[in-house]
Amino acid sequence: MGIFVFAISGALLAVRKNFDVFGLAVLALVTGLGGGLFRDLVIDAVPPAAFTELGYLLTPLVATGIVFFLHPQVERINKAIQVFDAAGLGLFCVTGTLKAYDYGLGLTSCAVLGLATAVGGGVLRDVLAGEVPSLLRWDREVYAVPALVGASCVALLLRFDALNEFSMTVAAGLAFLLRILALRYGWRAPRAWHRRSGAAEEP
């Protein structure tokens, strides 16, 4: 499901950039599977799950089809997509961290890889579409923080041997909630000192 909503966001960006149907499919695949693919390459889980499980390949293509035929409706439910995307973010940062742990990485590395799994697809999507990744931009609501909090929670739970289905759900829910709150209240991360004071002095 995380893959599906990420793929939808990729296909929508492709529509906005006026790409053709293959552009839609490529951006949907990259956004949905990119983060996991990067993680699998790093932890040497090859061939990556994206290529061994057929469902992983088909989900973005279904998302492409939906956006291709219905995209005015899909754009209209943009709000709903942001909610799904936040849910995907929560799920991915938890599963990414766990999978890295299964392959024997240290806890800090696991949290970083969980973060990379959650945000990697979106970064690849933006780079391919010729845009500055929204992850990096100041004028976007924070995206990395919720994923980082979720991934760190899982790492801490692993550390204290307190990981079970319930605590995992709480970690994913926390990341989800933070992202929703960031969207709702327009939370942004600070820029470097100088720029901020410069902007304040401008008027």
39 and 116 Cβ atoms separated by less than 8 Å: yes
**Stretch 21-60: interaction string toward its own copies, x if CB under 8 A:** xxxx-xx---------x---xxxx-xxx--xx-x--x---
Site for its own copies in 62-121 (CB under 8 A): 67-69, 71-72, 103-106, 108-109, 112-113
- How far is Cα 125 from Cα 2, in angstroms, rounded to an integer? 15
Angle between helices 2-16 and 54-76 (to 10 degrees): 50
Q: Is residue 184 a contact point for its own copies (CB under 8 A)? A: no
Q: Is residue 193 a contact point for its own copies (CB under 8 A)? A: yes
Both tokens of 79, joined, read 């709000």
Instruction: Spell out the residues 6+ positions from residue 29 whose beta carbon is closer than 8 angstroms to its own.
Output: 7, 10, 57, 60, 61
Q: Is the dihedral of CA 150, 155, 156, 161 positive or negative?
A: positive
Which residue, 46 or 162, is less far from its own copies as judged by CB?
46
Binding interface with its own copies (CB under 8 A): 14-15, 17-24, 26-27, 37, 41-44, 46-48, 51-52, 54, 57, 67-69, 71-72, 103-106, 108-109, 112-113, 123, 127-133, 135-138, 142, 144-145, 188-195
